[in-house]
Homo-oligomer: A and B are copies of this chain.
Amino acid sequence: MSESNAVLIGRKPVMNYVLACITVFHGGAKEVNVKARGRSISKAVDVVEVVRRRFLPDVKVKKIGIGTDQLASREEGGSPTNVSTIEITLEH
């Protein structure tokens, strides 16, 4: 799957990302990858649930993966910070 099918969840409202997912599916994609880090993880689940339940009932959750990204410290010599990640693959 090409990376252009990824929807990265950030600080915008849930419906912005719902629309992004729908647009990718309507463009002919068979899969969409919803990705988030840290506090946005909850929003990623909201996005997927709204897409499936309200707009595209044929879409299934194919796979959910979680992990940890290590971020370099902002201060010089500081220790790196860990942030949790989620990747939810939706399939049409």
Contact residues of A with B, CB < 8 Å? 38-42, 45-46, 48-49, 53, 61, 64-68, 82, 84-86, 88
| Copies of this polypeptide in the complex | 2
Q: A64-B66, A66-B64 known; A46 and B88 CB under 8 Å? A: no
CB distance from A34 to the nearest CB of B (A): 11
Compute how far the CA of A61 lies from the CA of B31 in the bound complex, rounded to whole angstroms. Answer: 23
Q: A48-B66, A66-B48, A66-B64 known; A84 and B53 CB under 8 Å? A: no
**Pairs of residues from A and B, 3 with the lowest C-beta to C-beta distance, nearest first:** A41-B42, A64-B64, A45-B84
Which residues of B have CB within 8 Å of A68? 49, 53
Q: A42-B38, A42-B41 known; A66 and B49 CB under 8 Å? A: yes
